[in-house]
Amino acid sequence: MYPKLKYNIKKLEHNINYLAKLVKKTDNFKLTIVTKSVAADKEIAKSIASNPNVDYVGDSRMENIISNKQSVEEYGKESMLLRLPMISEADRIVANADISLNSEIVTIKALNEEAKKQSKVHKVILMIDLGDLREGIFYEDKEKIMDVVKQILELSNIELLGVGTNLTCYGGIIPTYKNLQILCQVAKEIESQFNIKLPIVSGGNSSSVYLAERNELPEGINNLRLGESFLLCNDTAHCNEIKGCVKDAIICEVEIIELQHKPSLPIGEVGLDALGNKPNHQDKGVIDRAILAIGEQDTVCKRMYPVIKQGEDYIDDPSIEVLGSSSDHMILDVSKSKRKLKVGDTLEFRMDYAALLRLATSPYVEKEYL
């Protein structure tokens, strides 16, 4: 059945192990591997949880945390809820997540009440915003940070596991030695002011990997939460490939349903396309056009990159160009294709993060494991 998303578990494992070696410079470095962008796929979650290099399995949604739970417990790991908790689901967060990232004291108090009811201790990481302006208490507001910490420490069933930050998500701000050093400094100030130890200082997501490559990750950072880097081999700070990781661990295979020799420029008065965008087509004369049975409901077609199999690996195939898409069609220019194609053949693609998110989430996309 097509479209098919093919997960190469061995290659994903290779990427996790490579990244672990890169970032785990000390014994107290704890690695979180994130499952949300593959919709917490069961096989992948199991392979992550069973990997001795992985300490925490992270996800942003409780449905996924619950789906990961069996594997996480079986291998003695802990689960980390990445998106700030909704107060309305405090009960299932306390019941199913070991750790959550937080920035609101009202929410942490709600978690505490729930933890009392369930006779549990729930661990929280207090998020500090270093300027990306998504979640976290603004780093300059020391008074607020210290006040929230003071209140957390008074709660009977909450353990303050540490502080953390998230970057390169909303504001596109890149982690640097300098801004992460601010987080380490905040951790130190909390430790000295309250005479406690903070076991975790969580220095961001895949965009922090490049700092480890350059040996510029501040010493105080002892946790990263990595998703895209192990899935797609992306250094998301600079849109580079991470040398040492492989970028063909996830491949999408799609079937050709039409091949026609037609003009490249649409004929007639131009309005909007199926998705409400104004088309901007190039005139390349008459071309060989292929239609594939996949569309915007399943992926972001322009973020799919044709590849060709070579032995066990895939290499990019720039001879095929993605022209556009509608809800369930993807249109390609295959005039220069190195391969001889016919209706019923399949083409393979690697993809970026946005495309993977939809593919992994779409019930119309078959999942297969290698």
Ligand X SMILES: *Cc1c(COP(=O)(O)O)cnc(C)c1O
Which is nearer to ligand X, 122 or 225 (by Cβ)? 225
Binding of ligand X by 60 (CB under 6 A) = yes
Q: Distance (Å, rounded) from C-alpha 335 to C-alpha 92?
A: 54
Question: What would the two tokens of residue 157 be?
Answer: 């069933």
- Find the part of the chain contacting ligand X (CB under 6 A) among 47-55, 221-229, 239-247, 280-288: 221-229
Taking alpha carbons only, the member of 166, 126, 121 closest to residue 146 is: 126
DSSP-derived pairing of the beta strands 78-81 and 56-59: parallel
- Find the part of the chain contacting ligand X (CB under 6 A) among 5-13, 33-41, 155-163, 308-316: 33-41
- Find the part of the chain contacting ligand X (CB under 6 A) among 30-38, 70-78, 137-145, 263-271: 30-38
Q: Is 46 an annotated catalytic residue?
A: no
Which is nearer to ligand X, 218 or 324 (by Cβ)? 218
**Site map for ligand X, 92-111, x if CB under 6 A?**
---------x----------
Q: Pick the binder of ligand X from 15, 107, 165, 229 (CB under 6 A).
A: 229
Q: Pick the binder of ligand X from 15, 35, 205, 362 (CB under 6 A).
A: 205
Binding of ligand X by 68 (CB under 6 A) = no
Binding of ligand X by 227 (CB under 6 A) = yes
177 in Cβ contact with 211 (< 8 Å): yes
Which is nearer to ligand X, 41 or 333 (by Cβ)? 41
Task: Kindly report the backbone phi and psi dihedral angles of residue 119, in degrees, each rounded to the nearest multiple of 5, phi listed first.
Answer: 50, 50
Which is nearer to ligand X, 202 or 362 (by Cβ)? 202
In a 13 Å sphere around the CA of 153, the CA atoms on its Cβ side amount to 15
Apex 349 CA angle, 344 and 350, nearest 5: 165
Q: Map 220-234 to HEC letters.
A: CCCEEEECHHHHHCE
For 164-180, give one letter per residue: b (16+ CB within 10 A) or e. Answer: bbbbbeeeebbbbeebb
Which is nearer to ligand X, 225 or 289 (by Cβ)? 225
Apex 149 CA angle, 147 and 155, nearest 5: 110
Q: Is the dihedral of CA 50, 245, 63, 115 positive or negative?
A: positive
Cβ-closest position to ligand X: 227
Write out the binding residues for ligand X, residues 139-168 only, by CB under 6 A. 166
Binding of ligand X by 82 (CB under 6 A) = yes
Q: Pick the binder of ligand X from 8, 47, 79, 236 (CB under 6 A).
A: 236
The active-site residue, picked from 30, 36, 77, 247, is 36
Q: Distance (Å, rounded) from C-alpha 51 to C-alpha 238?
A: 28
Q: How many residues does the chain have?
A: 370
Which is nearer to ligand X, 17 or 264 (by Cβ)? 17
Binding of ligand X by 317 (CB under 6 A) = no
Q: Pick the binder of ligand X from 201, 226, 249, 290 (CB under 6 A).
A: 226
Catalytic residue numbers read 36
**What residues line the site for ligand X (CB under 6 A)?**
34, 36-37, 60, 82, 101, 166, 205-206, 225-229, 236
